Chains A and B, each alone.
Chain A
Amino acid sequence: MLELRDLAFGYGAKTVGSGISLTLQPGETLCLLGPNGGGKTTLFKTMLGLLPPLGGRVLLDGADLATLPRRDIAKRIAYVPQAHAAFFPFRVREVVVMGRASRLSAFASPGPADHAAAERALTLLGIGHLSDRVYTEISGGERQLALIARALAGEPRLLVMDEPTASLDFGNQARVLGQVRRLSEHGIAVVLSTHDPGHAFLCADRVALLHGGRLAGLGAPAETVTPETLRLLYGVEVAVVPLPQSGRAVCAPVLP
């Protein structure tokens, strides 16, 4: 449903990466790995149409992203930014219903159907009890879940999540990754970035490695996440240890 064709991306005149080609299938989960400052967020913003491509094209269901109005893009692709502190004390319910903006005309306010969609998203993520809480007063993990709920309220077919597990505690990381897995069961494709290569085994169908602004690898987690590729990406020795009877592996740095 989303295709990157020989994409070059960056800010203004500064090119961060180039030569990126990949196609995303409906319901597929793609995990993007790369070092700090490697351009993961910039690539995401280009995939969302928030930054214009510096070369190549981004195609959404065959149409060039640059030719689509924002509403049409937002109906299909939802963005989950890193959990942030909001500026005004909106209630969680009010934040989540904002995900319906792409489904409403410019002068419209959300109606019962939109509030119902927001409630469904909150329930799906198991945070229905937070609905009346103030967004600025809940924890970082709860905010991240609320932002995922906001994205889902718009009933998108693709979720782009920028480091959804960053700044979350161990339990909340597992909870968010579990939700990501369940999304693909609902037919929603997910692209996410993470700093823990082990997360790729937990939720991804495919892994893309971003190194030096280019795709250094693309494929199933077991083939892409290896000690060699991780050394290339992060410049440290990493042990990739398979977990028995799960087909998964954990990654741990090896200190000299």
Chain B
Amino acid sequence: MSEVVAVAPARRRLAGWSLAVLPVLALLLLVLVSLGTGRYPVPLADVFSLLLSKALGLTSAVDPTAQTVVLQVRLPRVLGALVVGAGLAAAGATYQGLFRNPLVSPDILGVSAGASLGAVLGIVLTLPSAAIQGLAFAGGLGAVAIVYGVGIAVRRRGASDPVLTLVLAGVAVGALLGAGIALLKVLADPYNQLPAITFWLLGSLASVNRGDLGAILPAMLIGLVPLVLLRWRVNLMSLGDEEARALGVETRLIRPVLVAAATLVTAAAVSVTGVIGWVGLIVPHVARLLVGPDFRRLLPASLLLGAGYLTAVDLLARTVATIEVPLGILTALVGAPFFLWLLATAKRGWA
């Protein structure tokens, strides 16, 4: 018996290591394929040697056109997919734990609706793209701040369950924001602005450049820090407010911190890409099936899977047809059937 106990941790650790390394390698391979694929194909070996020489500060012997395509055109887009996918999935995993509900997505408190209203307003006012992104970011944060404020105000008047109050406030505020978006669509110029609005609401990585990445990375990293630091407490939060408090967790402090962190990540992500649905809902699910509900493993698994999922979907978006397919369509088109398949076959219940 004691031998079994002694051997098991070592074997488990070895299995843990290979489980951690293999997905990272797979993701790197996906990135290389993604950088090489497109209307101007570049062989994988060239992509690899190009990235390697670039990283080492050497000049590369690869064809200059290929260099431009890979480094200037595709690299920012692929990096964008990695960062945005990882961020949305991590935020989704956090929200699902906080709201004790596996059907929750990062949009539950209105971050996407708020960001959409901000971006649509920017488009209708024909602002430059940086200002539209700024408005989207501010709109996302503002919407969640309003929902949180309403939640606290309602609770003071006697409602007891803080989580349920927040969700209901999110639904109500989301409906108001949706009405605002609809109104702006009616008022928008149908030839230039309306298509732009439609495309924004479906999400795309096509226009992501290095400047965008530089702008959102700090916000995303700042948002990820509390998620990493409080990773074990997220498990306790998923027991519900009362039980977590009884176990010694200051939920009144930790919940707003986690909500703010997940919202910051989501708002930063959608501000440059537009609304991308399904990633924050489905990726944490798959991650939970793979590594279990412990947030200490769920967070890195969600980050990796989210990055991989959006990179793969974006690869499809720009290769599957002669025109670019909006991401929002593909994430649902790929994600929804997969989700249903999971529901039908998964052995472990999550509700």
Contacts and interface: CB of A to CB of B under 8 A. Distances in A.
A78 B231 CA distance: 23
Contacts of A98: 235-236, 239, 247
Contacts of A89: 292-293, 348-350
Given A106-B230, A107-B230, A79 B243 contact: yes
B292 A91 contact: yes
A101 B288 CA distance: 22
B324 interface: no
Chain B's interface: helix, strand, loop or mixed, by majority? loop
A98 B248 CA distance: 10
Nearest to A91: B292
A52 interface: no
Nearest to A13: B158
Interface residues of A, number: 35
Nearest to B235: A98
Contact of A70 (B97, B101, B249): B249
A96 to B, nearest CB: 11
Contacts of B294: 90, 94
A76 to B, nearest CB: 10
A75 interface: yes
Contacts of A248: none
A108 interface: yes
B11 to A, nearest CB: 15
A150 to B, nearest CB: 8
Nearest to B294: A94
A154 B249 CA distance: 13
Interface stretch (A24-32, A80-88, A165-173, A218-226): A80-88
B22 interface: no
Interface in B72-102: 97, 100-102
A90 B293 contact: yes
B99 to A, nearest CB: 9
B232 A109 contact: yes
Interface in B331-351: 348-351
The 4 closest A-B pairs by CB, nearest first: A74-B248, A102-B248, A88-B293, A79-B246
Given A50-B245, A91-B292, 10 more contacts: A12-B160, A13-B158, A70-B250, A74-B246, A78-B246, A88-B102, A88-B350, A94-B235, A101-B236, A106-B250
Interface of B: 97, 100-102, 158, 160, 229-233, 235-236, 238-239, 242-243, 245-250, 254, 288, 292-294, 296, 348-351
